[in-house]
């Protein structure tokens, strides 16, 4: 915002500085008026409106011309202090609005953080200070300006001041098999499945407090401990029978031991589910953890059967849900579950078909698991199948010196997202200008991503021992830096993108699903991929293209676009823009066509992508859910089904809680049965960004949820 030039303010500032020096070093009244008069003249002679910094430069020069060097020095100090005050005002206001719980941007920044809770407020307050430090000291001005204008989004700036990375695949196998240290306490290899589950949940909480993104574990790392428990139970049963003077018949021993094994699996899985939900990390939320369920990750035989038992129990407990304050079973947000569709479970008659039917039942009831097609991911990832980190960030393939691929123990350095809609609107529809602006913005993104990379360089392992020293990600020495893990493809760094749908509509006048517009959409994606490959070759850093899961940023981007370009039908006329490459939420398209169409774009998002279809309540139509799952297996790497899972605490209604518009055109959640609008007295779960949100959303995301069409 521009302010009117005021010579009186300049004179007042000089006089205040003048009063801080000895009388012999002071300017006379006449000299002060000369300084002010000369600065005023210089401002009038400029071809543009001078900013505060330019005016203060002039004042310093004019004071120097009066040979009052001590005064000039004091004025520089005064100027610095005033700059701090100016720049801190917005931070102060943000923090105060947090404490009063009336900052909508932050209140709905994360759909799984309750902004009323003290620990969350403390994290947000620290985040505001970190953002302020980041903007003023740690990032170049052009990056900060581009972020604030919505040209790009520098993700997680509230954590940037610290040397923290984004997300990871936890090497739980290393931690369990070789032991680890948690909070300076040695943890040896567990002697039972339940102990392994307990250690896993403690590690999850520690890891979540040492990074800002999601983490993933695989159940196959826990499966070997089922046999450890089985052997223990066999010994116990034999001892108990012998103590009673009974013969330890092998079949009886096996049957009794297996009963105890199943009971321990149930208790262990319950421990994981409830501890993940109830644990609170230092950022005031439950750990954002994904659990991977992949049968072929272990060899055939008893180990695979044990893994299948764990998966079955995980699905059964998630179908049941967790109790809310009223004792009603509801849908929890975490852990997120991923189930791999494989040859041995995808069709009736295959060995693990019943597990797949159970997964379908779980999806219909609780919106998880999501699905990875082993067939498709192996085509795209050099014959490998592995989980994403958190909700969709995928590692590129990395091979160790022995040629074997390695995934667990790796991580992502961070994300910067490109607003494709702004590039299109800034070009005015001129294709040559579009690509010219694209290159300018990509240069900004590269600079911003290198800032993320440089911030991690030199990080000592001591800042997060569980990650870097004790096996979660590495076994480096104390005092060593993590630098060698930042190069050569061991970790990735992500160029995100958003709004491909609106970008293509502006440039072509058509949806990117239109055969005439799809080639342009694919050209944009290929260009972004080629750019990542070019950067990687030049830096030896694994740049990768990432389909950004916009949350609060979808609202921010839309508001910035409306401010810069006004309302453009089909482009900027919503309070949200579309995630990554997705088909617009309002566009009619059936589930099978949507998944098939989006598969070609998912292939071009190697750093992360997920597709979804919105479906009604499918609990009484599991055959349809299974049909979609089969289509996922045949056509797309990673996808999910979005349904609803709500509960009104006032009247007990457990159908869909709807979104209505009040007399002020504000979107509200309302129970259709009793009219309850109190968000504190309802449980609403919706998929927003690849994971389930339960703390409601800003007006932009709420509008997007309201406008979603059904795909089935």
Task: Give the 3-state secondary structure of residue 237.
Answer: helix
Q: Residues 58, 39: contact at Cβ < 8 Å?
A: yes
- Around Cβ 141, how many Cβ atoms within 10 Å? 9
Known catalytic membership, residue 30: no
H-helix segments, 157-243:
172-178, 193-208, 224-243
Is residue 305 helix, strand or coil? helix
Please tell me which residue in 371, 506, 546, 647 is annotated as part of the active site. 546
Q: Please say if 166 is a catalytic residue.
A: yes
Could you say which of 345, 412, 427, 511 is catalytic? 412
SS3 of 101, please?
coil
- Judge contact between 623 and 348, C-beta under 8 A: no
Q: How far is CA 103 from CA 145, 147, 180, 689, in A?
A: 22, 19, 41, 22
Residue 88 a catalytic site member? no
- Crossing angle, helix 224-243 and helix 302-320, to 10 degrees? 100
Say which of 157, 344, 345, 393 is annotated catalytic.
393
- The interaxial angle of helices 302-320 and 250-278, nearest 10 deg, is 50
Q: What dihedral do alpha carbons 161, 167, 171, 176 form, nearest 10°?
A: 70
Catalytic residue among 197, 293, 314, 391: 391
Query: How many other CB atoms sit within 10 Å of the CB of residue 702?
Result: 22
Helix, strand, coil: what percent of the chain each, to 5? 50, 15, 35
Both tokens of 406, joined, read 């390695």
Q: Is the peptide bond before 335 cis (omega within 30 degrees of 0)?
A: yes
Out of 551, 598, 640, 704, pick the active-site residue: 551
* Catalytic-role residue among 18, 74, 110, 166: 166
- How far, in Å, are 115, 157, 575, 660, 684 from residue 102 at the CA level? 10, 21, 20, 21, 21
Collect all residues with Cβ–Cβ distance below 8 Å to 261 and sequence separation of at least 6.
193, 226, 229, 230, 233, 309
345 belongs to the catalytic site: no
125, 309, 314, 389: the active-site residue: 389
Enumerate residues 6+ apart whose C-beta is below 8 A from 77: none
CB 22 within 8 A of CB 74: no
Active site includes 393?
yes
How many residues are recorded in the chain? 712
What does the alpha-carbon distance between residue 549 and residue 635 come to, in Å, rounded to a whole number?
22
Radius of gyration over alpha carbons of the chain, in Å? 29
551 is annotated as an active-site residue:
yes
Task: Classify each residue of 370-383 as buried b or exposed e, where b means 16 or more C-beta atoms within 10 Å of its C-beta.
Answer: bbbbbbbbeebbee
CA atoms within a 13 Å half-sphere pointing along the CA-CB vector of 213 = 29
CB burial string 534-562: b at 16+ within 10 A, e below: ebbeeeebbbbbbbbbbbbbbbbbbbbbb
- Output the CA torsion sign for 517, 519, 522, 523: negative
State whether the Cα torsion 39-42-44-49 is positive or negative.
Answer: negative
Is 224 within 8 Å of 178 (Cβ atoms)?
no
Q: Do residues 420 and 514 lie in contact, with contact meaning Cβ atoms separated by under 8 Å?
A: no
Catalytic residue among 150, 496, 607, 690: 690
The yes-or-no answer on residue 179 being catalytic is no
- Look up residue 206 and give its two tokens: 């520690």
- HSE toward the beta carbon, residue 559, CA cutoff 13 A: 12
DSSP notation for 640-676: EEE--EEEETTT---SPPEEEE-TTS-EEEE-TTT--
Before 369, cis peptide (omega within 30)? Answer: yes
Q: Which of 263, 290, 285, 287 is nearest to 276 (CA)?
A: 287
Is the Cβ–Cβ distance between 341 and 356 less than 8 Å? yes
What amino acid positions are annotated as catalytic residues? Answer: 166-167, 389, 391, 393, 412, 546, 551, 690
């Amino acid at each position: 915002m521009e302010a009117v030039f005021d010579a009186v303010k300049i004179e007042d500032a000089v006089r205040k500085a003048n009063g801080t020096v000895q009388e012999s070093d002071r300017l006379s009244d006449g000299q002060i008026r000369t300084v002010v008069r000369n600065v005023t003249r210089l401002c009038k002679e400029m071809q543009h409106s001078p900013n505060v910094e330019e005016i203060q430069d002039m004042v310093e020069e004019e004071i120097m011309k009066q040979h009052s060097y001590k005064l000039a020095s004091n004025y520089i100090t005064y100027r610095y202090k005033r700059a701090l005050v100016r720049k801190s005002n917005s931070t102060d206001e943000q923090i105060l609005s947090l404490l009063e719980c009336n900052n909508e941007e932050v209140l709905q920044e994360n759909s799984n953080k309750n902004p009323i809770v003290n620990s969350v407020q403390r994290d947000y307050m620290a985040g505001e200070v970190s953002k302020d430090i980041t903007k003023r000291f740690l990032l170049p001005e052009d990056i900060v300006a581009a972020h604030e204008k919505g040209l790009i989004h520098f993700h997680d700036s509230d954590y940037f001041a610290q040397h923290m990375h984004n997300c990871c695949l936890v090497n739980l196998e290393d931690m369990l098999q070789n032991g680890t240290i948690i909070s300076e306490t040695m943890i040896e290899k567990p002697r039972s499945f339940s102990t392994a589950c307990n250690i896993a949940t403690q590690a999850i909480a520690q890891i979540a407090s040492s990074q800002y993104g999601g983490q993933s574990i695989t159940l196959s790392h826990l499966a070997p401990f089922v046999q450890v428990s089985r052997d223990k139970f066999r010994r116990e049963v034999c001892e108990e029978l012998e103590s009673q003077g009974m013969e330890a018949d092998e079949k009886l021993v096996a049957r009794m031991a297996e009963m105890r094994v199943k009971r321990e699996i149930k208790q262990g899985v319950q421990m994981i589910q409830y501890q993940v939900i109830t644990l609170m990390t230092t950022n005031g939320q439950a750990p954002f953890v994904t659990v991977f369920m992949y049968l072929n990750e272990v060899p055939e035989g008893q180990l695979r059967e044990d893994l299948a038992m764990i998966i079955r129990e995980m699905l059964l407990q998630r179908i049941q849900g967790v109790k809310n304050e009223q004792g009603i079973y509801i849908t929890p947000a975490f852990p997120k579950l991923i189930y791999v569709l494989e040859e041995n479970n995808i069709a009736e008659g295959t060995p693990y078909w019943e597990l797949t039917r159970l997964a379908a039942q779980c999806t219909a009831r609780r919106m998880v698991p999501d699905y990875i097609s082993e067939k498709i991911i192996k085509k795209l990832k050099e014959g490998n199948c592995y989980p994403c980190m958190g909700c969709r960030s995928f590692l590129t393939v990395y091979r160790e010196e022995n040629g074997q691929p390695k995934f667990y123990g790796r991580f992502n350095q961070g994300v910067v997202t490109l607003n494709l809609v702004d590039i299109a609107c800034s070009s005015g529809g001129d294709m040559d200008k579009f690509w010219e602006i694209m290159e300018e913005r990509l240069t900004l993104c590269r600079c911003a991503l290198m800032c993320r990379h440089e911030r991690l360089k030199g990080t000592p392992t001591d800042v997060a021992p569980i990650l870097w020293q004790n096996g979660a990600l590495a076994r480096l020495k104390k005092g060593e830096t993590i630098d060698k893990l930042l190069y050569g493809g061991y970790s990735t760094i992500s160029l995100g993108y958003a709004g491909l749908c609106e970008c293509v509509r502006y440039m072509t006048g058509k949806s990117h699903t239109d055969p005439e517009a799809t080639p342009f959409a694919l050209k944009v994606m290929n260009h972004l991929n080629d750019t990542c490959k070019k950067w990687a070759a030049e830096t030896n850093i694994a740049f990768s293209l990432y389909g950004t899961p916009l949350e609060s940023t979808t609202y921010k981007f839309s508001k910035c676009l409306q401010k810069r370009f006004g309302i453009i039908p089909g482009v900027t006329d919503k309070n949200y823009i579309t995630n990554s490459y997705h088909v617009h939420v309002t566009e009619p398209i059936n589930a099978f066509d949507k998944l098939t169409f989006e598969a070609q774009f998912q292939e071009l998002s190697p750093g992360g992508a997920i597709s979804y279809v919105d479906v009604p309540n499918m609990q009484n139509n599991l055959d349809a859910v299974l049909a979609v799952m089969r289509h996922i297996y045949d056509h797309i790497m990673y996808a999910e089904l979005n349904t609803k899972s709500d509960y009104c605490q006032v009247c007990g209604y457990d159908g869909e809680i709807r979104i209505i518009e009040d007399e002020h055109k504000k979107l509200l959640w309302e129970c259709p049965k009793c009219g309850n609008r109190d968000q504190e007295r309802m449980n609403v779960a919706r998929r927003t960004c690849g994971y389930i949100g339960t703390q409601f959303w800003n007006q932009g995301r709420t509008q997007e949820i309201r406008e979603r069409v059904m795909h089935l």
